[in-house]
Amino acid sequence: MSFTVALVGRPNVGKSTLFNRLAGKKLALVDDTPGVTRDWRSAPARMGGLSFTVVDTAGLEDVTDDSLEARMRRQTERALDRADVALFIVDARAGITPLDRHFASLLRKGKTPVLLVANKAEGKAGMPGLYEAFELGLGEPIPLSAEHGEGMADLVQALLPFAPKEDEEEDEVEAAPAEGSDLPIGDQPEPAEDLAKPIQIAIVGRPNVGKSTLLNSLIGEERVLTGPEAGMTRDAISVDWEWRGRKFRLVDTAGMRKRARVDAKVEKLAVADALRVIRMAQVVLLVVDANQILDKQDLTIARMVVEEGRALVIALNKWDAVDDRAMALRQVEDKLQATLAQIKGVEVVTISALQGKKLDTLLDSILSTYAQWNRRIPTAQLNRWIEGVLEHHPPPLVEGRRVKIRYATQVKTRPPTVALFVNKPLDLPESYQRYLIGHLRETFELPGVPVRLLLRKQK
Ligand code: GDP
Ligand code: GDP
């Protein structure tokens, strides 16, 4: 399934340049002379996981002797007819011209939704035009540089609401690349596709901590519910919703409802269940009753999340019913410090599922933790880091010799995984590896997600 995006705007604002960038081909001739060599064109485009058809309006070499305005209006109307959304492009460097205003009024009257794009916004030269563009009454302009490819992620974000829902098939948790592939990925550009795909969340926790209540509050009326659907696995049901333009998918709510009815004596079962759910999720939300802080079972689940390489956020629920809040928080921090050093800095959010309090904070934490889980650290930064470490805290001597660490590169995200090339991997003590992981986490600020280190042999 696809949708159609029309590029509209006066000549020379960069429509062809953007068209080429979106279509990924050198299809159109681009020229500094206004209105040169253009035609009515459409092409399939793919950007950041979105597929759509892009339609350019031009054909200004039309040989009628109509006025420029009249011809443009005809072209634009034709394009708008078949478009789901129009990108109205202005030139941020040139500022807003009378022709732009003419266009804007045309577009405001039409039925097709319009996104305002301020092109040529690279560097500071585009700033005045960007502010002027607000005057057009078409909402906030999206700054872009079609020529330099800047701002494309924001454009994808803005287009997302117009995209038809993806097929269920594509929504599985992304498979990890095969172990042992040590190609650096830290230097590749961020894949913008993550924005289009829902973040898969699991809610886990002991019976009666408030998981079902939280689910209901999260997808309550004030949020856009994009449909409860059967899917995923045989007995799981997922619920999708959106919040601040991001898609979320809660997995295994069916299992959760079932579990809620089972009583507390089957705790072993609950843990096995949790493991199954954790494997379906990207971010795991561990719900804890703030009045019975982090017992053994909570910590077991938290450890499983780390071992499975998922991102973790802890919700301290029933905060409304806590008497001594300062003490409750201190207790949680002490317990986490003592037992979950592997994911130092995990986000702990105090909420009341019943009263719907702090749920925005909770979703914010989920987003930021998810972002860390997807982090890419450039190889150059990793190597500067490892050089610093070797200088101040080199590995211990083994039989009078020091293991040589050659270089580091990130080989995987979700969770961040760094390969370390060393001459004798077996001689690098566990304790030193743990030190490296902790230091890496602090240096690159990766709270709440497991960080992995792979040792690779290199002479
Ligand atoms: P169209 O007439 O709207 O299709 O505009 P074109 O795509 O032909 O671009 C007109 C001129 O603007 C060309 O010289 C492009 O190289 C230039 N241009 C397009 N996009 C950008 C941009 O993002 N920044 C700058 N500085 N110039 C651009
Ligand atoms: P689940 O077994 O984890 O799904 O827990 P439920 O959602 O069924 O909640 C168990 C009990 O805790 C219910 O009586 C809820 O009303 C109550 N509860 C849930 N969230 C809160 C909360 O934020 N504050 C208070 N005071 N009670 C809550």
Is there a contact between 299 and 331 (Cβ–Cβ < 8 Å)?
Answer: no
Q: What is the 16 CA–ligand 1 centroid distance (Å)? A: 7
Residues with CB under 6 A from ligand 2: 205, 207-213, 260, 317-318, 320-321, 352-354
Q: What is the 15 CA–ligand 1 centroid distance (Å)? A: 7
For 237-253, the DSSP string reads EEEEEEETTEEEEE--H
DSSP 100: H
Find the distance separating the first CA and the last CA of the chain, reported in whole Å: 51
Indicate which residue's Cα is closest to atom 18 of ligand 1.
Answer: 14
Atom of ligand 2 nearest to the CA of 355: 23
Q: Is 227 annotated as a binding residue?
A: no
**What's this model's pTM, rounded to 2 decimal places?**
0.56
Say whether the ipTM exceeds 0.90: no
How many other β-carbons are positioned within 10 Å of the β-carbon of residue 144? 26
Confidence of residue 338 (pLDDT cuts 50, 70, 90): confident
Is there a cis peptide before residue 447, judged by omega within 30 degrees of 0?
Answer: no
Give the model confidence (pLDDT) of 201-228 as tens digits.
998 888 788 887 888 788 764 333 333 3
DSSP 46: E
Among 29, 30, 40, 90, say which to mutate for ligand 1: greatest number of ligand atoms within 8 Å of CB: 30
DSSP 169: G
- What's residue 234's pLDDT? 30
Query: CB-based contacts of 109: which residues, under 8 Å, 6+ apart?
Result: none
CB of 145 closer than 6 angstroms to any ligand 1 atom = yes
Give the model confidence (pLDDT) of 262-298 as tens digits.
444 445 556 667 777 888 889 999 999 998 878 888 8
Kindly state the tokens that stand for 422: 């060393």
CA 14 – CA 140 distance, rounded (Å): 19
CA-nearest of 295, 355, 290, 297 to 326 is 290
Q: Which helix (H) or strand (E) holds 78?
A: helix 68-82
CA 198 – CA 241 distance, rounded (Å): 9
Confidence of residue 91 (pLDDT cuts 50, 70, 90): very high
Q: What is the 91 CA–ligand 1 centroid distance (Å)? A: 8
Cα 1 to chain centroid, rounded: 22
How many other β-carbons are positioned within 10 Å of the β-carbon of residue 339? 15
Give the model confidence (pLDDT) of 357-389 as tens digits.
999 999 999 999 999 999 989 888 999 999 999
Question: Which carries the bigger pLDDT value, residue 402 or residue 238?
Answer: 402
Give the model confidence (pLDDT) of 311-337 as tens digits.
999 999 999 999 988 888 888 888 888
